[in-house]
Each structure stands twice: as structure tokens, then as C-alpha cells.
Amino acid sequence: MTKENLKRVRAIAWKEFIQIKRDPRSLGLSLAIPIFLLFIFGYGLSLDIDHIRTVVWNRDGSQLSRDFLLNFEYSKYFKIIGHADNYRDIQHMIDSGKVLMALVIDRDFSHYLNSGKPAPLQLIIDGSDANTATIARGYVQTVVGTYNIKLFNSTFAEYGLRPPKSVDARSRIWFNEGLKSTWFIVPGVIGVIIMIISALVTSLCVAREWERGTMEQLISTPVKSTELIIGKFIPYFVIGFFDLGLGVLMARFLFGVPFKGSYFLFIVLSTLFLTGALAQGITISVVARSQLMASQLASLATLIPTILLSGFIYPIFNMPKALQTVTYLIPARYYIVILREMFLKGGGIDTMWDEMIFLVLFASLAFVLAIRKFKKKVILK
């Protein structure tokens, strides 16, 4: 690129910076919304299910049954908020949404235990939220299983016997020892925000020129199509990296998510992703030629696919085979893997070759497509 080319690119970029500054909507969209979305997703979206509201109907009333219930009261997964006297009370509390589940202890609970027989415990769960109900049932089974082991060992101890040998499974969690869902969600949120905001703000830049009638003036100047696209690309690239840096700082110091990877590699891979996302937005802007249509197309092309098909929340391996195939075309899928690798695992380039190759192809093809579409539009004009 010659000195004259650089001069024209710089002039277009400066013009775009001025337009952004004069357009509070674009500036607010670029800077305020990423912060807002990170707050909403970071604090509002949690995959941790604990303090499950529970009502208890202790029909036995013995000391043994009360001791058993202490296992639920001392567990962080349950919150005993009341006691029922009949099934009608339980139904009312579940129907009103006050509790998610109920524990009903049989009137012969202690008698069965003292007789060496399995004691009945009824669990009633609100199944309208199937996922939470399944997890709650698993928590109950864990608490009951732990209690049974204690009961088993104490019975042997009473007779001076050693309990039989058993498997002692001890788990060790790598990369997220506390199993904090925030550590999983926040890096993914950064990728989602960068993809959506980058495509959305750049989708307006060329369409705005068509609507205002200034595109004809630009076309009549010596500025080439490539120079115009690059000039419009630069300001949003700067804003995109500002948003990315802000997202990383919020993840580190607001949500406490560790960053274990190489910052240099992170910048390189983020540059590829950001280039592709911005170029995609410019392509939409060229095709639409209307700010309203451009924003709608950008939302349709990025919002739903990025949130639902990128692995941000829903595991890709749980999706139907047809949708799993579609996810290979979602750029955020690869960048979210990179973000989680860099933040939590400290992964290097040797563990992210596939993602890097896709981002190189994505950035290159998106940028070339934006230039070709613009040239074709100018010729048709």
C-alpha cells in the first residue's frame, strides 16, 4: 500500500471517527451495551442451583427423623422454609411457587430404621422446570446416600465390627476447582458480546452513507473500494478492542475469573475474530443499504446463532446431529473455545490449532466478501 493509499485510508477513518462521535446512538451501542450485557449475563445468568426452597412434612416426629432432616438443613443445596401438616398444604405451597419440592417422612420412619428395614421417604417435586427438578432429585439422592453410609458405619461400630471394604471415589476438579458457573459463563459472554456488537455497529456504517446521500460523493473521489472499507473498518476495530479489553478487566477483577493464557496469543486470535465479525457487519451494511434493514439482518445473523449454537450455554454434543453440523459455521463457537482455554486452562497454540485455522479463514473470507460486495454495489449503482 502506497503513501497515497494510506493517506486516503486515514482520511476515511478520521471521517468515520467524527461521525461516530456525532452519533450518540452508535457510540452508546458500542460502549455502554457491552458493559450492560456483561453485568446482566455475569450476575443474572447462573447455572448453579442451590438453596432449593423445600417444605417438610415430618409425620414421624421422632428424634431419629429430626436428625435425618438436619442433613438437609445443613446442606447449601436446600433451604427448609416451612413445615406442612397434610398434602393439601404441600400442594398449595408448590402451586403458589413458594417451594420447589417437599419431603414427606413416613409415620413409621424410625420404626423401620430401628428394625433394619428401608425407611420410606417421599419426595414431591415441581416438574414444570424439568432441569431444576432433575438436579434437585439428584441432590436429595446424594444427601440420602451420605446418610445411609453414616448409618451403615455406625451400625457396624455398635457391634464392634469393621464395615466391609468399599470404593472411595475422590474427585479432583481441574481448571475450575470450585465449579463456579461464573467462570464458565463470563468468558463465553465476552465472545457473544464482541460478535453481536461488532456486527451490529458496523452494519450501520455503509448503510448510513447510502441513506444520507454521501456515498455518491465518496464514490466520485479517488478513494478506492478497498481503501473505503479499510477506512471504515479501523474506527470500529479500535472500539471493538476497547470493548474486549474492558470485558477482560471486568472478568478478572469484577467476577474473579482467572486468566492463565498468553496475552500476546490472546490478542492475535482476538484480532482475527474481531476482523471477521466487523467485516461481516460491513457486508450486511453494503447489502442492506438501509440502517433499519441492516440492524435487523445483523441481529438475525448473529444474535440467535451466537447465543444458541455456539456452545455458550448449551453443550454442542447434546444438540441433534443436524444442529451440530450447523454449529461448525458459527464463528463464535471457535472463539468461545479459545476464550475458555485462555482464561481457565492456559492453553497454548498447540491446543487451539483448529480454532485458529477457522478464524484465519473467517477473517479472510469475510473481509474479501465485504470488498467484493461493495465493488459490485458501486458498479450497479
pLDDT digits (tens, 9 = 90+) for 132-163: 899 999 999 999 998 988 888 787 776 666 76
Please, which residues have CB within 8 angstroms of residue 338's CB and are 6 or more apart in sequence?
Answer: 266, 269, 273, 352, 355, 356, 359
User: Count of alpha carbons within 13 Å of 144, Cβ hemisphere only?
Assistant: 14
Say which residue, 92 or 171, is predicted with more confidence: 92
Say which residue, 171 or 120, is predicted with more confidence: 120
For residue 64, give its domain range.
Answer: 52-158
Q: Are residues 131 and 198 in the same domain?
A: no
Q: Are residues 339 and 205 in the same domain?
A: yes
Please, which residues have CB within 8 angstroms of residue 133's CB and are 6 or more apart in sequence?
Answer: 100, 101, 125, 126, 127
* pLDDT value of position 207: 75
- Residue 169 domain-assigned? no
Q: Are residues 242 and 354 in the same domain?
A: yes
- Residue 365 domain-assigned? yes
Which three-class secondary structure state does DSSP give residue 6?
A: helix
Number of domains in the chain: 2
The rounded distance, in Å, linking the Cα atoms of 232 and 11 is 10
CATH code assigned at 130 = 3.40.1710.10
Mean pLDDT of 74-97: 93
Picking from 123, 158, 193, the residue at the C-terminal end of a domain is 158
* pLDDT value of position 163: 66
- Residue 163 domain-assigned? no
- Residue 279 domain-assigned? yes
Q: Are residues 16 and 88 in the same domain?
A: no
- Residue 338 domain-assigned? yes
Picking from 158, 191, 218, the residue at the C-terminal end of a domain is 158
The rounded distance, in Å, linking the Cα atoms of 34 and 40 is 10
Q: Are residues 130 and 214 in the same domain?
A: no
Mean pLDDT of 351-377: 88
pLDDT digits (tens, 9 = 90+) for 310-332: 999 888 988 999 999 999 999 99
Q: Are residues 316 and 269 in the same domain?
A: yes
Q: Are residues 211 and 295 in the same domain?
A: yes
Q: DSSP characters for 278-318? A: HHHHHHHHHHH-SHHHHHHHHHHHHHHHHHHHSSSSS-GGG
Instruction: Give the number of other Cβ atoms within 10 Å of residue 19's Cβ.
Output: 18
The pLDDT > 70 percentage for the chain reads 93
Mean pLDDT of 276-287: 88
- Residue 85 domain-assigned? yes
Say which residue, 271 or 35, is predicted with more confidence: 271
Q: Are residues 71 and 189 in the same domain?
A: no
* pLDDT value of position 1: 61
Q: Are residues 102 and 12 in the same domain?
A: no
Q: Are residues 95 and 184 in the same domain?
A: no
Mean pLDDT of 96-101: 93
**Contact between 55 and 102 (Cβ < 8 Å):** yes
Per-residue pLDDT band at 277 (split at 50, 70, 90)? very high
pLDDT digits (tens, 9 = 90+) for 41-83: 888 877 778 899 999 999 999 999 999 999 999 998 999 999 9
* pLDDT value of position 203: 82
The rounded distance, in Å, linking the Cα atoms of 136 and 126 is 10
Q: Are residues 83 and 216 in the same domain?
A: no
Mean pLDDT of 213-239: 81
- Residue 165 domain-assigned? no
Q: Note the pTM of the prediction, 2 decimals.
A: 0.83
Reduce the secondary structure of 136-194 to three states and give it as a string: HHHHHHHHHHHHHHHHHHHHHHHCCCCCCCCCCCCCCCCCCCCCCHHHHHHHHHHHHHH
Mean pLDDT of 294-318: 88
- Residue 166 domain-assigned? no
Q: Are residues 264 and 344 in the same domain?
A: yes
Say which residue, 205 or 228, is predicted with more confidence: 228
Picking from 127, 158, 189, the residue at the C-terminal end of a domain is 158
